[in-house]
Amino acid sequence: MSSETIAKDANLSFSKLKTLSNEERSQALQEIYNTLKENKSQILQANEIDLKNAETQNLSSSLIKRLDLSKGGKFDSMLQGILDVANLPDPVGKITLAKKLDDGLNLYRVTAPIGVLLIIFESRPEVIANITALAVKSGNSAILKGGKESYQTFKVMSGIVNKALSNTKVPSKAIQLIESREDVADLLNQDKYIDLVIPRGSNELVRHIKSNTKIPVLGHADGICSIYVDSNYDIVKAKRIIVDSKTNYPAGCNAVEQLLINKNIPEEEQREILQTLIDNKVTAHVTPDLKLIESEYVKDAKDDSFDKEYLSFDISVKLVDDADEAIKHINEHSSKHTECIITEDEPTANKFLKSIDSAGIYWNASTRFADGFRRFNELSISIKG
């Protein structure tokens, strides 16, 4: 099948999908959930083949962690995410602005689907379920391309998703999963039918996509995320937030990679923060003024330590004079993904929130909340201690 045909089919499917009710779209997600759950063993067997191939090819440990569906409850979380999206309020048809322009002339701004999405991602096979759920719920068609390292998992899951959709009112071509890299190159030329490209992966992938298409691109590259600990803070809360941000899923682009500590925090408390990281087997790459503990988990920061995405149990740590220096450092060194301030002082927090130039900025919350599933479905979890 040609790339033009794939794109055209997705566009035609969108014309029908956007007319379906919220109930019909949510029922389709329930069917996808059921079918994936019924075929769990088959999916994990395919995933095991991908993992063995990745190890044979000596791929990085962070990539292998992203690839593995069997550990940490990732498969079950993936399924739960589908149900949670299905149960969300209908995002389509919401009136966000109503204005009377003249007698008998009214202006309305109404939420609507985007159209056809081309989504290209690496490693993480659960993205198939994530994006399928979000696309169907919001009335968008999607063409998905996974990385070659997840080929076996991708192939099995794509067949299961297609089978599930055949039993629903959602057109089967509304979600298409392609395997060929050549298809991607051709699809990037289908600006007549595709409305938005979303690359999820490495810096190299995002830059390549941006340089090779006229279709609008929505994508970020590295995830160099930061946490600033202010002098007016709760140490119990701070330790929990920092540990969760680093260790919950270190291979994620929303894991914290650099920690900035206010120099006015007492040295014994600085040491306690570092010790908490060490206790969780996190290697701290520290500046000389923070070399407070002798440990195999404490190393000297290098020149590039604060421009590095580790994607592992590593973090760069330094002291800063105040919030102003932290803001300056973050705006210079972060990848503008997600940042956090830990403070009990509201004016300082508000200044940080307004001054940081990043997509997500949090106050006393883990950077891992920069994730659709956690943000919308786990907000009842308190990190306040």
pLDDT at 220: 66
Q: Are 117 and 195 in contact (CB under 8 A)?
A: yes
What pLDDT, on the 0 to 100 scale, is given for residue 36?
A: 97
Class of domain 3-211: alpha beta
On the question of pLDDT at 375 being above 70, the answer is no
Mean pLDDT, residues 51-73: 85
pLDDT at 381: 36
- Per-residue burial over 12-34, b if 16 or more Cβ lie within 10 Å, else e, is bbbeebbebebeebbbbbebbbe
Please say whether the beta carbons of 42 and 156 come within 8 A: yes
**Which of 31-35, 196-200, 216-220, 372-376 is most confident?**
31-35
Please say if the pLDDT value at position 192 is more than 90.
Answer: yes
Region 186-210 average pLDDT: 88
- Mind giving me the DSSP string for 204-258? HHHHHHHHT-SS-B-------EEEEE-SS--HHHHHHHHHHHHHS-TTSTTSEEE
Which amino acid would we find at residue 29? Answer: L
Instruction: Please compute Rg for the chain using Cα positions.
Output: 23
Round to whole Å and give the CA distance between 305 and 310: 9
Q: Which residue has the higher pLDDT, 375 or 259?
A: 259
pLDDT-above-70 percentage for the chain = 94
Neighbour-count burial of 137, counting CB atoms closer than 10 A to its CB (0-12 exposed, 13-18 middle, 19+ buried): buried
Residue 248: how many other CB atoms lie within 10 Å: 17
The stretch 175-183 carries a mean pLDDT of 80
Domain boundaries, the chain: 3-211, 225-377
Q: Indicate the pLDDT class of residue 65, thresholds 50, 70 and 90.
A: confident
Looking at this protein, which amino acid is placed at residue 217?
A: V
pLDDT at 373 over 60: no
**Which of 43, 103, 113, 108 has the alpha carbon at shortest distance from 75?**
43
* Distance, CA of 120 to CA of 184 (rounded, Å): 8
Model confidence pLDDT, tens digit, residues 287-307: 999 999 999 999 999 999 999
Cα–Cα dist 274/286, whole Å? 10
Is residue 85 predicted with pLDDT exceeding 70?
A: yes
Examine the pLDDT at 246 and tell me if it is beyond 50. Answer: yes
Mean pLDDT across the stretch 49-61? Answer: 88
> Candidates 3.40.50.720, 3.30.70.20, 3.40.50.1220, 3.40.309.10; correct CATH number of 225-377?
3.40.309.10
